[in-house]
Amino acid sequence: MTPIDILIAEDEQAHVSFIRRSLCNDSQPFHFRVATDLRSCRHELDRHPPAILLLDLNLPDGSALDLLKELGSETPYPILVMTAGGSETLAVEALKSGALDYIIKSPEIFADMGRIIKRALRERQARNDHRRAVKALRASEEKYRHLFQEFNGLLNAVSDSLMLVDPDMNILWSNQSAADIVGIKPEEMIGQHCYSLMKKKNQQCDACAAARTITTGLSQSSMETLDNGEIWDSRAFPLLGEAGEISKIIIMKRNVSEQKRLQDEAARASRLAVLGELSAGIAHEINNPNALILYNSEMLGGFLNDLLPYLRESMTTESEHLFGGLSCSDLIDEMPQMLTSIKDSARRIKQIVNDLRDFARRDPLNEDSFIDLNQIAQSSARLVSNVAGRSTDHFIVDLGKDLPVLSGVQGRLEQVVINLLINACQALTDRSQKITLATSCCEKREHLFLTVTDEGRGIPADILEHIVEPFVTTKRQEGGTGLGLSVSARIVKEHRGSLRFSSSPGEGTIATLVLPAAQDATHDE
């Protein structure tokens, strides 16, 4: 058994002998060191700290209270203060200064010193164990507090909206993204119903994913379209209690508007690709008989020129014959006009088919491919002529002269111009209102401009600021998706251009397409 190292600071040798004699009879072995004053006591403590210090209150060179104040209350060993006779005030002061106990010397105390020392050691050990446990607990709390803060920060950094609700849809927790949707702090959401905050309703939404999770006990999902046109993917996941019941639900919402827009664009591109293939077939099937119509009309024109002298000669006879119910004079007047109308219509059919084919074609952007802005304007005007004719009596096309060429894909830019023209038609409220399609260039011939001006209803300022953003539209009630101008802006950006809008409610809109002239072509000029 390892001896317990005891340092006795006592100037009365008789008292030291009493303590030694008492401890020698104990089953626990002890190792004794004796200091007769404070100086030697300090020396022994510095040389080798004991397991326990028995400290006399009054020593020749000072008071034990002075040493206690020097050592402080966190000594690695217990201190028992001994006195031949003391007061309660001294005892309290000694204990406050760091002593574990305060004992009054007597034969009975000396005889019981072994038990007193072992009790003091046990008590000190218990205090040390408690102190270590408290320290470990605080470290653990700090660790988990730090982990919670990191985890909470991670969840708040997630762009998806996250909420934890109970079966009554009371919000128990939310991340920052969820709070941003309703414009309040996350802690302000706690205790409120999710349907009152998110949907401004007074009762639970039957169609929401969380409601169906409560009913089925399974994870559920749903798509929601907000009033501003945004599309959200909502998912709900159940958390089960000890008895298997749903105790909480995790609700995750993600804004999939951009994803949906890209999907719609991909689908539209696919449809345009199919339309391009169909247009090629249509061009073949229509242009062949149409070419025959053009050829035969030219032939008939030649025949008519040869026939006209005979028709005029027949008019000199007394009895004028009727041909299909028409007199010779009527035939002479009508037949050239009929042939001209047939040829013009056939040429229009050919041009429309070619325009449709070019519009649907998704050619890659080629910097070396030069195109004519006036040709784009003319082709687009022809394609929307029927729509424009139903909307206005004043569809004006004003083409600039001697414009520089630009590089890009004609079909894509036609798509932009057609979209601008259709928007202008839809903005009109009266047939007397005018639409003007104009082209021009700057003095340095570095940029080209195409403007579509209408005298329609105009665009509100709050929408005009975001007009080219996805899902922003002034025609929500008419089924508008708000994707047309977003796609147009992307196409213009691909051509290193810009799309600008100027509008006031009730005063019409000016849409300006700005495109750079082709550099190589500009230099050649």
What b/e readout covers 145-184, taking b as 16+ CB neighbours within 10 angstroms?
eeeeeeeeeebeeeeebbbbbeeebebebbbbbbbebbee
Contact yes or no for 482/473 (Cβ under 8 A): yes
Q: How far is CA 506 from CA 396, 457, 468, in A?
A: 20, 4, 20
- Each residue's pLDDT tens digit, 269-311: 666 566 666 666 776 678 788 888 888 888 888 888 887 777 6
pLDDT at 174: 87
pLDDT at 522: 44
Q: How confident is the model at residue 479 (pLDDT cuts 50, 70, 90)?
A: very low
* Domain segments of the chain as ranges: 4-132, 158-255, 257-362, 365-525
Taking alpha carbons only, the member of 222, 271, 225, 227 closest to residue 487 is: 271
pLDDT at 470: 58
pLDDT at 381: 92
- Each residue's pLDDT tens digit, 111-134: 888 888 888 888 888 888 888 899
Strand, helix or coil for residue 80:
strand
470 is written with which tokens? Answer: 């996805």
Topology of 4-132 in CATH? Rossmann fold (3.40.50)
Topology of 257-362 in CATH? Helix Hairpins (1.10.287)
**How much is the pTM?**
0.41
Topology of 158-255 in CATH? Beta-Lactamase (3.30.450)
| Residues linked to residue 59 through DSSP beta bridges, in sequence order | 62
Report d(CA 250, CA 172) in Å as an integer: 10
Looking at residues 62-89, what average pLDDT do you find? 84
Which helix (H) or strand (E) segment holds residue 91: the answer is helix 88-97
- Each residue's pLDDT tens digit, 19-53: 888 888 778 888 889 999 999 999 999 999 999 99
Report d(CA 394, CA 435) in Å as an integer: 6
Residue 368 pLDDT > 90, yes or no? no
Domains 4-132 and 158-255 share a fold: no
Contact yes or no for 382/351 (Cβ under 8 A): yes
pLDDT at 524: 44
pLDDT at 482: 47
Q: To 5 degrees, how large is the angle CA 213–CA 218–CA 223?
A: 55
Phi and psi, residue 192, nearest 5°: -95, 160
Residue 146 pLDDT > 50, yes or no? yes
Q: How many CA atoms lie within 13 A of 256 on its CB side?
A: 15
The residues, any chain, with a CB within 8 Å of residue 458's CB and separated by 6 or more, are 427, 503, 504, 505, 506, 507, 508, 509
Residue 255 pLDDT > 90, yes or no? no
Most confident stretch, 281-285, 340-344, 432-436:
432-436
- Each residue's pLDDT tens digit, 374-427: 999 999 999 888 889 999 999 999 999 999 999 888 888 988 999 899 989 999
365-525 homologous superfamily:
Histidine kinase-like ATPase, C-terminal domain (3.30.565.10)
- Strand pairing report for 52-56 and 79-83: parallel
